[in-house]
Amino acid sequence: MPGATIGVFGSGQLGRMLGLAARPLGYRFAVFAPDAEHSPAGDVADWVVQAEYADLAAVRRFARAIDVATFEFENVAADVAAAATAVGTPVRPGGHVLHAAQNRLREKTFLAQNDLPVTPFWRVDSLADLTRGLETLGGPAVLKTAAFGYDGKGQAKIMQPAEAAQAWAEINQAPAILEAFVPFKQEVSVVAGRGLNGDLAHFGVIENIHENHILDLSIAPARVSDKVRQQAIALACDVLTKLEVVGVLCVEFFVTDDDQLLINELAPRPHNSGHLTIDACLTSQFELQLRTICGLPLGNTELLRPSVMANLLGDLWHSGEPKWETVLAEPNCKLHLYGKAAARPGRKMGHCTIVADESTAAVEPLMARLVQARARLPVA
C-alpha cells in the first residue's frame, strides 16, 4: 500500500518513469544498479544502492530494505531475483518470467509449446546447425544471439546459404536462434498488465515504426483491422496468463500481408512503445506496473485520445543541445527527457508524445506535426 518502498533493479529510463509514477501515489522508490548514482532512475529515487549485480550480499541488503522488487531490464541475472526472494521480498514479475524472456530460444519455445503463433525458428549451436536450419526454414533468415540482444544488436541477416559462415562469425559463434525472415507489412505491440489475482488490463494495439532497428515512432491506436486488433489483444492476454506474469509485459508482433499475427519478442516490463500511455491514458504503463506489483486494482488503461510518440536519440545532439522550443511550441506535445549526461548516436535520450484534440482524430496529421517538430530540434 502507499507508503511502502518499491525497489527496482536497473538505472535507466524505464526505472525513472516507474519512480515518477510511484511518487504521486505516495510510494517510496529505491534503485539498485552498478551505476545507480547520477542515473536516469537514480536521480528520481529516494535512495540508491550502487553495487554490482554479482554482489548478492548487497542484493540481499537492498531486498530487506524494500517491500517489493521489480526490474527495468530483463538481463538481471536469475540469481539476483532468487537472492531477493530468499530474504522474503517478492520479485514481480517472478524469476520464471525473467528466465523465459532472457533467452530468445526459451521464449520462442515457450510460445510454440503453448500454441501461440511465433516466427518460425531453429536452434543454432554450430555452423552445421545453422546450415540445417537454413535448409529447413528456407529463404532469407535472421540469425540472432539467444541472449543479450536488443535493438537489432547481435543479429545478422542471411540472404543466401553461402553467407552462413560469415553470419556465424558475425555473432561470435554464440548460442543462437535462426528465424525465418518475415516480410511483414506492420509491426505492432500490446502492453498489458496482470495483477496478483489474475486480473488483466491492456492499452490496446500500438503500431511501431523502426529506423535502423531502433524504435522511431509509436502510433495509437494502430492502423489495423478490428479482427487483428482483437486477436492481438487476446494473444497478449494469453501470454501473460500462461506465463503467470504478475507485472507488465509487452508482446511485439509482426503483421503479415494476409493479416496473420506472429509474435517476434516479449519484454517483461514496460516498453518503449507504451511511453505514449503516460500522456494518453488515465493509468500509464508505469502506473500499471506499480499497481500490478503492489497488488492494487489495475485502474483505467483505456486510450483517451489518439496519440503518437517519437523517440529522441542522441543523434539530435550532434551540434549541441537541441532547441526544445520547437516541440514545446506544439500545444498538444509533451516532452520527456531522461537526464542522461552523454548523448551518443543511437542512445535513447528522451521522447515526445503528441495527443489529439478529440477521440476521433486521424493519426496521420499528428504524426506529421510531431515529426516536423522533431526535425527542427537540432541546432544548425
> Which of 178-186, 191-199, 272-280, 328-336 is the region at the interface with ligand AMP (rule: CB under 6 A)?
178-186
Give the residue among 2, 17, 148 at the shortest CA–CA distance from 72: 17
Count Cβ atoms below 10 Å from residue 180 Cβ, excluding itself: 19
Closest distance of CB 343 from ligand AMP, Å: 22
Q: Which residues pair with 252 in a beta bridge?
A: 189, 265
Closest distance of CB 120 from ligand AMP, Å: 9
* Residues in 187-216 at the binding interface with ligand AMP, rule: CB under 6 A: 187, 210, 213
Please say which residue, 48 or 219, places its beta carbon nearer to ligand AMP.
219
DSSP 23: G
Count of residues engaged in binding ligand AMP, rule: CB under 6 A: 13
Give the residue among 189, 206, 190, 192 at the shortest CA–CA distance from 291: 192
320 Cβ contact list (under 8 Å, min separation 6): 379
Q: Phi-psi category of 377—alpha, beta or left, where left has phi over 0 and alpha has psi -120 to 50? A: alpha
Q: Phi-psi category of 224—alpha, beta or left, where left has phi over 0 and alpha has psi -120 to 50? A: beta
Please say which residue, 207 or 279, places its beta carbon nearer to ligand AMP.
207
**Cis ω before 345 (30° cut-off from 0):** no
Closest distance of CB 2 from ligand AMP, Å: 36
The grid coordinates listed for 137 are 526454414
Contact letters (x/-) for ligand AMP, 107-136, by CB under 6 A?
Answer: ------------x-----------------
Please say which residue, 73 or 150, places its beta carbon nearer to ligand AMP.
150
Closest distance of CB 209 from ligand AMP, Å: 9
* Residues in 137-166 at the binding interface with ligand AMP, rule: CB under 6 A: 142, 149-150, 152
Q: Is residue 307 a contact point for ligand AMP (CB under 6 A)? A: no
> Which of 108-116, 125-133, 181-189, 326-334 is the region at the interface with ligand AMP (rule: CB under 6 A)?
181-189
Closest distance of CB 110 from ligand AMP, Å: 16
**DSSP H helical ranges for the chain:** 13-22, 56-65, 78-86, 95-101, 104-113, 127-137, 164-170, 226-242, 277-280, 285-293, 325-328, 363-375
> Which of 13-21, 71-79, 180-188, 219-227 is the region at the interface with ligand AMP (rule: CB under 6 A)?
180-188
Assess contact for 176 and 156: CB atoms under 8 A. Answer: no
Helix (H) or strand (E) holding 352, with range, is strand 348-355
Closest distance of CB 249 from ligand AMP, Å: 15
Q: Is residue 346 a contact point for ligand AMP (CB under 6 A)? A: no
> Which of 21-29, 78-86, 177-185, 194-202 is the region at the interface with ligand AMP (rule: CB under 6 A)?
177-185
Query: How far apart are the C-alpha atoms of 371 and 375, rounded to whole Å?
Result: 6
Q: Is residue 265 a contact point for ligand AMP (CB under 6 A)? A: yes
Assess contact for 50 and 26: CB atoms under 8 A. Answer: no
Please say which residue, 139 or 345, places its beta carbon nearer to ligand AMP.
139
Assess contact for 185 and 262: CB atoms under 8 A. Answer: no
Q: Is residue 287 a contact point for ligand AMP (CB under 6 A)? A: no
- Asked whether the CA dihedral 262, 290, 16, 351 is positive or negative, the reply is positive
Contact letters (x/-) for ligand AMP, 15-34, by CB under 6 A?
Answer: --------------------
Please say which residue, 91 or 142, places its beta carbon nearer to ligand AMP.
142
Instruction: Give the one residue of 103, 186, 264, 292 binding ligand AMP; rule: CB under 6 A.
Output: 264
DSSP 147: B
Closest distance of CB 274 from ligand AMP, Å: 15
Assess contact for 215 and 272: CB atoms under 8 A. Answer: yes
Please say which residue, 38 or 157, places its beta carbon nearer to ligand AMP.
157
Q: Is residue 179 a contact point for ligand AMP (CB under 6 A)? A: yes
Binding-site ranges for ligand AMP (CB under 6 A): 119, 142, 149-150, 152, 179, 181-182, 187, 210, 213, 264-265
